[in-house]
């Protein structure tokens, strides 16, 4: 997706060979017009996948996921990172390890919102080690729903998540694939 790559080139900050900071348009400040374009692109890519629900993880996945759901005319669920007082009955819960935050957390989806027969499109802002996407796929599995596909805004193709997911048979569509972050430069795959 050219518009996204342009934005990454212009505003992305390479913090290390592993970390690309895109907090000016994706995961702290958000460019809503770019999010709408991202939503339209995912909706186009998965137009024939009979998606019934979009599933993401709070917080940075929400904006692209909501726009994708808007375009696909389905609801979106954001998995919550821990149990709140108003969310306790019948949860699907999975563990997810964040390498960025160096901690394990639990993510949960209420059992009311995923059912057998659902076809789930998983959407997330980044794909690195695949931990978050795999946890969401396991949540869909708990609900006996199908994973229709996985839509990623930025895939760090030099990390193992993408290969892991594709080996397991998931259809992964990444709108920007970063091949490396060496020398302070973003190189696309």
The answer to the question of whether 183 is labelled as a binding residue is: no
132 is in an annotated binding site: yes
> 125 near 27, Cβ under 8 Å?
yes
Task: Say if residue 37 is exposed, middle or buried (CB neighbours under 10 Å; 0-12, 13-18, 19+).
Answer: middle
Which CB, 99 or 188, lies closer to its own copies?
99
> What is the binding site for its own copies (CB under 8 A)?
15, 19, 21, 23-25, 28-33, 35-36, 58-59, 62-63, 66-67, 69-70, 73, 75-78, 80, 84-87, 100-102, 109-110, 112-113
Nearer to its own copies, 83 or 166 (CB): 83
Closer residue to its own copies in complex, CB, 100/168: 100
Structure tokens at 86: 């108003």
Q: Is 27 annotated as a binding residue?
A: yes
Residues belonging to the chain: 189
Cβ pair 145, 165 in contact under 8 A: no
* 131 marked among binding-site residues: yes
Query: Whole-number minimum distance, CB 86 to its own copies, in Å?
Result: 5
> Phi/psi at 164 (nearest 5 deg)?
-60, -45
Find the farthest-apart pair of alpha carbons in the chain and give their distance in angstroms, rounded. 49
For residues 176 and 4, the answer to whether their CB atoms sit within 8 Å is: yes
From the CB of 174, what's the least distance to its own copies, in Å?
Answer: 20
The binding site comprises: 20, 27, 128-132, 156
The binding site for xanthine comprises: 20, 27, 156
């Amino acid at each position: 997706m050219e518009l996204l790559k342009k934005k990454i080139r212009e505003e992305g900050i390479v913090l290390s060979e592993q970390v690309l900071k895109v907090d000016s348009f994706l995961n702290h400040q958000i460019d809503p017009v770019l999010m709408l374009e991202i939503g339209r692109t995912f909706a186009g890519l998965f137009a024939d996948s009979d998606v019934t629900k979009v599933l993401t993880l709070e917080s940075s996945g929400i904006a692209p996921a909501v726009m994708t759901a808007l375009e696909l005319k389905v609801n979106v669920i954001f998995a919550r990172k821990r149990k709140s007082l108003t969310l306790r009955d019948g949860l699907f819960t999975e563990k997810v390890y964040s390498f960025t935050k160096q901690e394990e957390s639990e993510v949960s989806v209420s059992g009311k919102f995923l059912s057998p027969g659902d076809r789930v499109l998983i959407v997330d802002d980044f794909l690195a080690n695949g931990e978050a996407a795999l946890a969401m796929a396991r949540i869909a599995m708990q609900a006996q729903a199908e994973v229709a596909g996985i839509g990623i805004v930025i895939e760090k193709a030099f990390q193992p998540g993408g290969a892991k997911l594709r080996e397991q048979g998931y259809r992964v569509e990444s709108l920007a694939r970063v091949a490396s972050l060496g020398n302070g430069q973003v190189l696309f795959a």
